[in-house]
């Protein structure tokens, strides 16, 4: 079996939260990468964890870097200006991701490097920078076969599924299960919503690892309904229905402390044992490395 390695560089949602209560799981925002033993390498999301990833690289070498952005909210893109390889000639960095109704992917990403926000503009970057705006589609990158899916979030947001050899990895950026916003009992609408949620179960089916937005606890959800994030419970259900093997809670709520996250993981590990579901559960932790 070939080796496929997952590393977390930033695991937090919304905003970086350094401090004594987030030391163990980490305070940087969304960034993870996947490396195969054949040299395939892709990065998902470019939150402040991307800076840490950049620091881990031997910058005397030249890199061909592919970064897949789930969506352009700050916590998923604001590590880019601090990612050292973009300042080094000879590196090639390609950004993949959705545009929005108002802006292209290129406009969005270079927008945060305009003069009023940041001292260096994208045109001044020394690496070769490319943008590839994508939607729901399939693409290949070396030995990685990548499929995307539209998620339910208050801006265009993509989930990514990667097949490598006999392995299947899924990363769901920010996402909330669909529901009937009118809260009526319209049968047609209920079926429509159920079908959309069923699509996601198919997307994650039999994944060896699923990394999914699980920002809220069930008790917090009603006050945050419609904000575009899932609860730990919803993600757990998705993993059970999709027969996922390893589940990683991701995009942790900024207020969630290390001790809270330990408790959440212990709770669900106990539940799956009680119910006989063969799922390995983790809360994503900055710096943690897993073989998929």
Q: How far is the CB of 228 from Zn ion (least distance, A)?
A: 6
Which residues, numbered 5-24, are part of the site for Zn ion (CB under 5 A)?
Answer: 13
Q: How far is the CB of 153 from Zn ion (least distance, A)?
A: 6
Q: How far is the CB of 71 from Zn ion (least distance, A)?
A: 6
Which residues, numbered 252-281, are part of the site for Zn ion (CB under 5 A)?
Answer: none
Q: How far is the CB of 274 from Zn ion (least distance, A)?
A: 32
- Compare residues 79 and 85 and give the one whose CB is closer to Zn ion: 79
- Compare residues 75 and 253 and give the one whose CB is closer to Zn ion: 75
Q: Is residue 2 within 8 Å of residue 38, measured between CB atoms?
A: yes
Determine, following the binding rule CB under 5 A, whether residue 176 of this chain makes contact with Zn ion.
Answer: no
- Compare residues 13 and 27 and give the one whose CB is closer to Zn ion: 13
**Binding string, residues 126-165; x marks residues near Zn ion by CB under 5 A:** ----------------------------------------
Place of tokens 């800076």: 51
- Compare residues 15 and 126 and give the one whose CB is closer to Zn ion: 15
How many Cβ atoms sit within 10 Å of the Cβ of residue 275? 9
- Compare residues 88 and 285 and give the one whose CB is closer to Zn ion: 285
- Residue nearest Zn ion (C-beta atom): 73
Which residues, numbered 67-96, are part of the site for Zn ion (CB under 5 A)?
Answer: 73, 75
- Compare residues 75 and 176 and give the one whose CB is closer to Zn ion: 75
Q: How far is the CB of 233 from Zn ion (least distance, A)?
A: 19
Note the residues at the interface with Zn ion (CB under 5 A).
Answer: 13, 73, 75, 174
């Amino acid at each position: 079996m070939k080796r496929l390695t997952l590393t977390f560089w930033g695991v937090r949602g919304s905003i970086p939260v350094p401090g004594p209560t987030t030391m163990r799981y980490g305070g940087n925002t969304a960034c993870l990468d996947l490396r195969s033993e054949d040299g395939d390498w892709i990065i998902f999301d470019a939150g402040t964890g991307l800076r840490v990833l950049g620091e881990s690289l031997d910058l005397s070498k030249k890199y061909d870097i592919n970064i897949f952005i789930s969506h352009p909210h700050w916590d998923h893109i604001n590590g880019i200006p601090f990612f050292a390889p973009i300042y080094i000639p000879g590196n090639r960095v390609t950004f993949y991701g959705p545009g929005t109704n108002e802006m292209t992917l290129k406009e969005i990403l270079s927008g945060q490097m305009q003069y009023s926000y940041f001292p260096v503009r994208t045109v001044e970057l020394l690496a070769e920078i490319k943008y590839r705006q994508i939607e729901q589609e399939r693409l290949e990158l070396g030995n990685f076969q990548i499929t995307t899916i539209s998620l339910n979030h208050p801006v265009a947001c993509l989930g990514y599924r990667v097949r490598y050899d006999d392995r299947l990895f899924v990363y769901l950026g920010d996402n909330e299960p669909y529901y009937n916003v009118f809260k009526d009992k319209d049968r047609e609408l209920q079926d429509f919503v159920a079908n959309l949620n069923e699509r996601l179960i198919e997307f994650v089916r039999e994944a060896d690892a699923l990394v999914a937005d699980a920002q809220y606890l069930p008790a917090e959800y009603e006050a945050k309904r419609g904000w575009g994030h899932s609860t730990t419970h919803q993600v757990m259900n998705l993993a059970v229905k999709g027969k996922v093997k390893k589940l990683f809670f991701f995009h942790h709520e900024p207020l969630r402390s290390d001790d809270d996250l330990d408790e959440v993981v212990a709770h669900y590990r106990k539940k799956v044992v009680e119910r006989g579901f063969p799922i390995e559960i983790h809360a994503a932790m900055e710096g943690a490395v897993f073989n998929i």
